[in-house]
Amino acid sequence: MKKISLTGIKPTGDLHIGNYFGAIKPALELANEYDARYFIADYHGLNTMKDPNELQSTIRHVAAGWLASGLDPDKVIFYRQSSIPEVFELTTMLMAFTSKGLMNRAHAYKDAVSKNNLKYEDTDAGINMGLFTYPVLMAADIIIFDSDVVPVGKDQLQHIEMAQDIAQSVNANYKQQVLKIPQAAIQESVAVVPGLDGRKMSKSYGNVIPLFAAEKTLRKTIMRITTNSQTVDEPKNPDESQIFQLYKLFADDKEQSALADRYRAGGMGWGDAKEELFRAANRCISPIRERYNAIMSDIPSLDKILAHGAEKARPIAAATVKRFRKAAGID
């Protein structure tokens, strides 16, 4: 039997190529080896997004983005967290095994507190219980599907460790393996995608190349990449150029070495380098963009795919809750 890989996708607007190469593509590659379960973490999104139109469209955007990027819903169980009520029942059960002190140590909560303290605000200003208890819901997301591995970025490692702690407390209490202990799969080799200004591509830095931008916008965005003042004639070091780092994501080995030679030879200006990047990026992104637009033009079919995924996921979730209830004496 294949091992189970599970990951949650927080609804965020404007998927960019950093998301694609840093999260989507590696997770889809993992889906070839594992029995994959990927879901839209929409109740996690509710903690921060209170505008219903925004939340609704963000959920669809992210789901369509993963499908357009190649997620095959016949192979991967793809669903919305909110469609699996058992997740929330498990969350309540796990709450009884989660010390408040553990939650006090969560990075996201601590960051919010220290921001408040810096501003001389009340320590807990603007912090809702959804944020405070986020790691418990995330533990339930993971544990409910007997997940073996959870592919996540480094920033999520603490959450996985908390899920392990909580599951272990349950197993220790009942002196049996009620819940499977998940492992994090941090993908070290995943490229850090540089943004327009050379820093890591991130929505919060405003330096992103959007994944689904129309061709014209894609070109314009690439032309905005910051460069140094080297003249056209000067030889350039491809390893020091974020334009080349980005190009490498889209080009094969032969193309990469051919272009690297042109950088080193001199005679190629940054404008040409950007043009090459645009061509390679557009070639890779065009089919994804077309699929995305097609999916977004037929929301009922998209919703059907997600509902179908939830149908497959629910019996697995129900079995975990049943096992736990039995062990706990609530059967």
Residue ranges in contact with ligand TRP by CB under 6 A:
6-8, 10, 41, 44, 138, 141-142, 150, 152, 156, 159
User: Least Å distance between CB 225 and ligand TRP?
Assistant: 27
User: Least Å distance between CB 75 and ligand TRP?
Assistant: 19
CB-nearer residue toward ligand TRP: 10 or 248: 10
CB-nearer residue toward ligand TRP: 268 or 313: 313
User: Least Å distance between CB 4 and ligand TRP?
Assistant: 12
Residue among 31, 29, 57 nearest 45 (CA): 57
Hey, is 194 helix, strand or coil? strand
CB-nearer residue toward ligand TRP: 184 or 251: 184
Considering just the CA atoms, what is the radius of gyration of the chain in Å?
22
Give me the residue label for tokens 């490498």. Answer: 248
Residue among 73, 37, 61, 42 nearest 313 (CA): 37
Query: What are the distances in angstroms from CA 10 to CA 55, 157, 330?
Result: 11, 16, 32
User: Least Å distance between CB 88 and ligand TRP?
Assistant: 13
CB-nearer residue toward ligand TRP: 22 or 238: 22
Burial of 187 (0-12, 13-18, 19+ CB in 10 A): middle
Hey, is 185 helix, strand or coil? strand
CB-nearer residue toward ligand TRP: 92 or 301: 92
User: Least Å distance between CB 132 and ligand TRP?
Assistant: 14
User: Least Å distance between CB 139 and ligand TRP?
Assistant: 8
Q: What residues contact 107, with CB distance under 8 A and at least 6 apart? A: 155, 158
CB-nearer residue toward ligand TRP: 17 or 273: 17
Report the C-alpha gap between 310 and 316 in whole angstroms.
Answer: 10
Residue number closest to ligand TRP, CB atom: 8
Residue 222 φ then ψ, to 5°: -65, -35
CB-nearer residue toward ligand TRP: 38 or 250: 38
Residue 35 φ then ψ, to 5°: -85, 100
Residue among 182, 11, 219 nearest 210 (CA): 219
User: Least Å distance between CB 44 and ligand TRP?
Assistant: 5
